[in-house]
């Protein structure tokens, strides 16, 4: 496997871009022409070759640039990475999981050599070659969770399981969709989901918690979540809302195609072996409207989903004010033809736009 890593930015001049390969493998989140909250969990047992689901931790063309952006965020706000004292063992579990997974799934990019507790980790894209003693924090430049998540795309929340509940007791969170680790640290599953509309009344979170509490080691799960972001900005945190919130007002009919992005999170869940903690990776993917429209099925479906979404959800996801402009743009790509079931673009079988 050979990946050409982009030299790009997720702030200021926004040079982020998706190749044709990245567009075709984008994790489009809508399997039908409408959307409502659901638990939508499935086993994370891989997926079609080349898809974002194939490997345990997807590595793509944005890897190096995303890690540079994470370092910038941490320099400005170190509290984006926190771990309560009792979570150190879980941090070592997570380090092992990511190192083993990446070295097995991407052997051309990552190597892990182990001789007892003497480990050597090689990360070729980032130019890292580091020997350390497993379980000895003094041999790492950061704590184990921070060390490895500075080298892994997406956010990572580590959940302690006790008293039939999950507690957000550690995390590396620099690419979040408007929530704060510093605010949520130490909260339980229901507390940090409190702002979500409709889902509580529907019993979604009670069913989700029951499922998550029973995830076993070696049987990870996954789901998709989504929202909207103006400009390809990874760091949409409450702490920086004054910087990115105003960007919603910069949309025009002329620029919405390249400025408005569908933001999709591939959320996975792994049981950790020693600590029995549950790690919750949240991998963010961005794709502009104009890139999504290159798949006729996605163009038709996205228009219908956004058109029919309840106002409460459009408000919660932060695009209620821009929805009319979004629909004006998207309606150009919906000719009323039926769409095939499932999330895949079906480029070989879906009819081209009829108008």
Tokens of 306: 């956004």
What's the rounded Cα separation, in Å, for the pair 25 and 17? Answer: 14
Q: Are 93 and 272 in contact (CB under 8 A)?
A: yes
Residues in the chain, total: 355
115 pLDDT exceeds 70? yes
16 pLDDT exceeds 80? yes
Of 213, 199, 236, nearest in space to 167 by CA: 213
Lowest mean pLDDT among 66-70, 200-204, 226-230: 200-204
pLDDT band at 199 (very low <50, low <70, confident <90, very high): low
Question: pLDDT digits over 21-33, tens only?
Answer: 999 999 999 999 9
Measure Cα distances from 235 to 12, 140, 177 in Å.
12, 26, 8
186 pLDDT exceeds 80? yes
Active site residue 301: no
pTM: 0.96
Average pLDDT over residues 194-200: 71
106 pLDDT exceeds 90? yes
Q: Which residue is catalytic, options 25, 223, 300, 304?
A: 223
Q: Are 193 and 207 in contact (CB under 8 A)?
A: no
Q: Are 306 and 289 in contact (CB under 8 A)?
A: no
């Amino acid at each position: 496997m050979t990946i050409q890593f982009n030299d790009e930015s997720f702030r200021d001049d926004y040079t982020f871009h998706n190749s044709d390969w990245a567009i075709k493998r984008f994790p489009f989140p809508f399997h039908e022409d409408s959307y409502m909250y659901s638990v939508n969990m499935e086993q994370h047992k891989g997926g079609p070759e080349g898809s974002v689901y194939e490997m345990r931790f997807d590595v793509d063309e944005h890897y190096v640039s995303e890690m540079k952006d994470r370092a910038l965020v941490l320099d400005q706000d170190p509290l984006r990475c926190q771990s309560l004292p009792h979570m150190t063992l879980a941090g070592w579990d997570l380090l092992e999981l990511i190192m083993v997974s990446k070295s097995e799934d991407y052997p051309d990019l990552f190597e892990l050599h182990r001789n007892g507790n003497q480990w050597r980790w090689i990360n070729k894209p980032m130019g890292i070659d580091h020997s350390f003693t497993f379980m000895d924090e003094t041999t790492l430049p950061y704590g184990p969770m921070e060390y490895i998540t500075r080298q892994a795309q997406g956010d990572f929340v580590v959940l302690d399981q006790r008293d039939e509940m999950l507690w957000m007791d550690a995390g590396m969170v620099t690419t979040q969709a408007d929530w704060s680790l510093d605010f949520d640290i130490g909260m339980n599953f229901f507390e940090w989901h409190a702002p979500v509309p409709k889902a509580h009344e529907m019993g979604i979170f009670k069913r989700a918690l029951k499922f998550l509490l029973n995830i076993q080691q070696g049987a990870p799960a996954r789901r998709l979540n989504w929202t909207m972001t103006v400009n390809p900005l990874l760091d949409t945190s409450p702490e920086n809302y004054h910087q990115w919130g105003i960007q919603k007002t910069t949309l025009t009919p002329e620029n919405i195609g390249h400025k408005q992005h569908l933001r999709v999170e591939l959320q996975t869940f792994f049981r950790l072996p020693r600590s029995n903690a549950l790690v919750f990776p949240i991998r963010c993917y961005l794709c502009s409207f104009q890139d999504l429209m290159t798949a006729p099925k996605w163009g038709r479906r996205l228009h219908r989903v956004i058109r029919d979404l309840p106002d409460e959800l459009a408000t919660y996801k932060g695009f209620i004010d821009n929805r009319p402009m979004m629909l004006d743009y998207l309606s150009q790509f919906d000719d009323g033809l039926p769409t095939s079931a499932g999330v895949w673009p079906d480029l070989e079988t879906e009819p081209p736009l009829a108008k």
